[in-house]
Amino acid sequence: EIAMLKMVYDTPSAAQAKLMADHGHTSFDVSKYMSMYKERMRATVEKAMKAGVHYGNIVTVPAYCVGDVAHHIAQSMFNMAKDDVTMAIMEATTGVMESTLKRGLEKGYKNAYEVLSVATGSTAASVAYILEKDGFTVPMVVDLLTKRYTNYVQQYPGRGAAAELHNCDFMDMIHRGAKIINIAALGGGGKVRGVEVDLSPVDNNEVLANPQRYTYPACAITVRFSSLMRLADFPCLLTSEPVTATLMTNVIALQPDSPGAPARVCKDCAICLFVKRHDKCEWEKAI
């Protein structure tokens, strides 16, 4: 694991090629593709450097682009979305975001960061809301996935470098969402940046409203949760990464000399619900 992390920093292209090869990727020459991409980007990168764009942003924006095109518009995404309930969760959550963003337009946004916050906060609230429909709470899921992680790394010590990556994203998302939909005395009172999250696309989704159609009807109490666990491995259209990438690119364009990533703020990691280690984090020492 340590050797792989060193490789990521020392020879990132080789590390990516190894990661994909280890998982059986064969459809194209990964190393050749990355080499071509690097050369085609070279002139743009050099212009950005001369223009004073922060190096962190020069790395971040292309990563967003490659990640979105190669990661989300993928055969694996299509295969996962064949399931009615899984697709319905993504559709309903996207509907929540769209409706809530439009509500924000009526209220007015102070800056680009507020748009980003409302977009990602609304989807987080949506997923937490769907989770609670099946009687699950965020601490239950965080406890489950954290215990599984401890067992998983012992069972598969040679696991891929990205194995638990999306589980972490998923947990952080639902943790944030649960805080948003909690009552105002303890949480956000259903609002993000003063904008009320519209959860009606979830309630009005015919598939999500009728889980009994997808299992033994009298026992349909885990249908939505089971699809959420599928999405825990691939939550990118829930968080939503394409929207984050687009909005962050605009934020960076407005402030090119200020690094947009990594975020220099405590994100209240979900795992800290149980293991209080906020004081060990060094987020303030990021770029």
Q: For residue 285, what pLDDT is reported?
A: 75
The region that residue 52 occupies, defined by phi over 0 for left and psi between -120 and 50 for alpha, beta otherwise, is left
What is the per-residue DSSP string for 158-193?
A: T--TTTTHHHHHHHHHHHHHHHHHS-TTTS-TTEET
Q: Are 145 and 171 in contact (CB under 8 A)?
A: yes
Cβ-based neighbours of 23, under 8 Å, separated by 6 or more: 160
Q: For residue 282, what pLDDT is reported?
A: 80
Q: For residue 36, what pLDDT is reported?
A: 93
For 228, the token pair is 């959420």
Walking along the chain (287 residues) 10 residues at a time, the average pLDDT comes out as 88 90 89 91 94 92 75 87 98 98 95 95 98 97 95 91 91 98 95 97 98 98 98 95 91 91 84 85 73
C-alpha radius of gyration, the chain, whole number = 20
Q: Amino acid letter at 250? A: N
Q: For residue 214, what pLDDT is reported?
A: 98
